Structures are given as structure tokens and as C-alpha cells.
Structure 1
Amino acid sequence: MPVSSARDKKRVGARQPILNLVALALPPRCPGCGEVVEADHRFCAPCWAQFTLIAPPWCAACNLPFEFDRGAQALCGQCLAAPPVHDGVRAAVAYGPAARALVLKLKYAGRTAYAATAARLMARLLPEDAEMLVPVPLHRWRIWSRGFNQAALIARELARLRGVPLELDLLRRTKATPVLRGLGVRGRAKAVAGAFAVAPGARERIKGRSVVLVDDVFTSGATTDACVRVLKRAGAARVTILCWTRVLDPGADDSWAD
């Protein structure tokens, strides 16, 4: 056995009693309701039962789930009426109480470990042709007040899990935008117009690449569509949106949306 491996095992063994005490004092808790669970990033049975995992069959353009299989090339009504600017929206779970609870705790209660919880369920939906991960950026004022960008935390964990390169500074939010909740589809689109730009010298890194745009919540798509347009103008071949949760009901409460 290499000397370094033996030393590492010895260090872990020495720390184990302390780790056991920490586990007793601070047991893993469900990200949804806070009940004690068997391991980190696990949901209790009642919260897990609230999730609707999003998977095929779905719209070939936007990945909106269908109730039954309509064929691999079938489109939803909205995409038939107006083809989307993106190349699909992949979300781990549909909007619901447990999904909402995780986002609120991550964004507003500083539970940054929940970014890894979300990423673990999102990783299965990462496109096979993904060449880079780009988080939806926050304006510097929002980062100063919150202390972090939740999309960047999720993207970092996805990069670790799947080995896809992460580009944290490729896309920038150049204009502070108001909170989008309550604005409606048109109001949101107007609020984010012109708010994003690629970093100087980034076009060569984007040109011809398959980009995955990472976010926590997909509501109306106003913010992500604005990002997609900027990335495609910079030369991206494909831009797929990957998020933790997607609001499937257009009339759902949007009080949690940025």
C-alpha cells in the first residue's frame, strides 16, 4: 500500500469519532420539510411522493411532457404556433411544494448544499452532446445581497458529476432587472431585454459549440430566452436549458420567481 494512502486512512480513522458525533448532533435532513433522513441529499417519503419527474414522452422542441406518447417528433401547441429560440428545456421535476421548498431554502435561506441536491436529479437529463455548462448570471448587485448565484452553484456540481466544462464568466448580466414575479409574460420579456451579453473575447469559445444553460427554475422562459438569444448570436450551435424545476401550469403562483 502506498505511504500516502496509509496516511489518508489513518487520518480518516482518527477523525471518525468526531464525524460520528457531528452526525448525531446534526443528522441529515430532508431538503423539503426538514425531517431527519438516512443520508444527505435524500428526501423523506412524503416529500418524494410530491415530485413529478419529467421525462419522455415530451415535445420534440421544448420538452414539455405529454400525457401519452405522440411520437418522437411531436410538437406541443405552443411550439407549433411559435418555434422556441432554445433547443429544449429539460427539468428534473415539475413545480410543486417540495420543489419550491428546495429553491426557496437555497436562494433565500443560504442552504447552498441544496444546489448539489438539485444537480444530482438534474444530471440524468444532461444532453449527450453537451460541450459546456453556462449558468444564468445574476447582476453583481444581486450577488452582493445574496452572496452567491444559485445557478452557478448547481452548474458547478453538474460539472463535477458529469465532467462537462464549466464556463462561469462567459455570460454576463449587464443590467440590473426588477424582480420578475407578478409581471406576466410580456412584462418579464421587456424587463430582461438587453440585460445579457457575452464576455469580451468569449465568442471563439462559443462558436459552433453545444451549450447547456443552467438555471434553478423555468417559469415563463423570459430570462433564459434572453440568454439563449445572446449565446446564439455569439455563434452557439445549440443551447439547451437545464433546470431543477419547471412550472407546467401557466397560471401557477410565481411569487418565488426572480
Structure 2
Amino acid sequence: MPPPTASSLALSARRAVEDALAVVFPVSCAGCDLADRDLCEPCREQLRASARVRQLPGGLEVRSALVFDGVAARVIRSFKEDGRTGLARPLGIALREAWPAGLDGVPVAVPASRSSMRRRGYAPVVLAARRAGWRPFPLLSVARATADQRSLTRDGRAANLAGAMRARPSAAERLRGRAVVLVDDVVTTGATLEEATRALTAAGVAVAGAVTIAATPLRHRPGG
């Protein structure tokens, strides 16, 4: 029998820790509800990145690691809405694969609203970026409150976000001459990323592209 590899030893250690924690803090898999696992191995496999590229109307190229559907959607929702911060690691690993090959850029996280920060107590995008091995630069801030995007149309999202972000002047000055890559959790219509791009461009910062954990499936209208 061959000796155990480093990866198999790490997997065994992780399972042992999960088993011990499950006794004290019962959990279920974020992807399929299997008992005693934060994320079971089959669902972890479903988070294996396969980068998809989308170009927004304004020209920004967005690379997404996963499709926001099935297991990936359930895990991302648990990470964002249920406080399951341990899921940041597998999502961060997937996010890392979306980074454009060979691009020397500075990661800049899309900022969380004040209300979501109060509700969650953490910024999911920043946490996932850190688990990807990046140190997101605090360049953007929220300029005003916005409505919940989920029930809005494409045009409604754009109007809701218009002027909602701004670049921190001193931070923008430090990055002058450097390209940045925007980082977000899920891209739907792209309105959030386009608003972030507008704010950075106005501050003289070049945006080389964007990466997200996932992208919602494109829905085609009948006859469109």
C-alpha cells in the first residue's frame, strides 16, 4: 500500500475536526443537508471552478468561477445569509481560479452596504477574497443607501445604484497608474460592477476587469 499523500492526510484531518465539531455544534451540508458535514465531498466537488466570461454593456469583462444554481447557489446563500463563514474557504478557492491569467492587477472588493454589514457582521466579498489568498485594497466606499436589488428589473437596478459608490481619494492616489480588478460575489445584470467601474474611472483608476464567485444563468426572453 502506498504511503498517504499530503492531500489525503489533510482531508482526513479535516474530516476528524468536522466529526468532533459536529458532536458539539450539529451541522448539515450547505449544499445537500447531509448531517454532520459543513460541506460534504460531493458538494465540494460541485464547487470546482470552471471560469465563465461575460462582457457587460459598458465593456467590462467579468470572469465568474461558478454558475449561481444548484449546489453553488445554496452554498453561497448559506455563506452570505446564514453566517456560515467557514464556507468562505471553498468559495475562495473557486474564486481564485477566475482571476485572469497573467494579469498583474490589484484586487478591489465591491463594498457591502451599511445595512448588510450591520445584519451580517462581516463582508462576504472581502472574506472570500482573503480565502482566495488576496489582500483586497479598500478603495471603494458606499456613498448612499440603496434599495434591495433582488426584486428590481435590469433598468431598476441600474437606477438604484447610480452614484451609490465612490473611490476614496487618498487610496485612489496610491493606485494611480496601477490596474485594478473588481471582486464581487454574484453577477446578475452587472449593474453593481458597472457602478463600481464608474466610480473608479471618475477617480482616475483603470479597471482591468472583474471576477466573481458566481454568475446567474443568462435568461433569454422569448424572441430575444
**Shared topology, TM-score over 0.5?**
yes
What residue identity is the alignment partner of 2:31?
Answer: G
Question: Size of the alignment, in residue pairs?
Answer: 203
1:190-229 alignment, distance < 5 Å: 190-229=159-198
Report the CA distance shift for 1:21/1:245 in structure 2 as closer, same or farther (over 3 A).
closer
Q: 1:131 aligns with which of 105, 110, 130?
A: 105
Give 3-state SS (helix, strand or coil) of 1:90's partner.
Answer: strand
Match of 1:44 in 2: 42
Q: 1:111 aligns with which of 84, 94, 101?
A: 84
| Per-residue deviation, 1:106 | 0.9
Matching of residues 1-258 of structure 1 within 5 Å: 22-26=17-21, 30-35=29-34, 43-44=41-42, 48=45, 53-55=49-51, 63-64=53-54, 83-86=57-60, 88-127=61-100, 128-158=102-132, 160=133, 164-167=134-137, 169-250=138-219
For 1:32 and 1:91, the matched residues in 2 are separated by 19
How far, CA to CA, are the matches of 2:94 and 2:49 in structure 1?
9
Instruction: Report the Cα offset of residue 83 of structure 1.
Output: 5.0
Q: CA deviation at 1:52?
A: 8.4
CA contact (8 A) 2:182 2:211 kept: yes
Partner AA of 1:132 in structure 2: V
Residues 139, 174 of structure 1: 8 Å contact kept: no
In structure 2, what is the Cα distance between the partners aligned to 1:223 and 1:214?
Answer: 11
SS of match in other structure, 1:208: coil
**TM-score, structure 2 length as denominator?**
0.78
CA–CA separation in structure 2 for the residues paired with 1:181 and 1:113: 25
Stretches of structure 1 that go unaligned for 5 or more consecutive residues are 1-18, 65-78, 253-258
Tell me the TM-score normalized by structure 1: 0.68
Q: Amino acid of the residue matched to residue 206 of structure 2?
A: A
Q: What root-mean-square deviation, in Å, do the aligned CA atoms of Structure 1 and Structure 2 show? A: 2.9
User: What is the deviation of 1:123?
Assistant: 1.0
- The aligned amino acid for 2:75 is L
How far apart are 1:170 and its partner, in Å?
A: 1.3
**Distance of 1:195 and 1:250 partners within structure 2:** 26
Gaps of 5+ in 2: 1-13
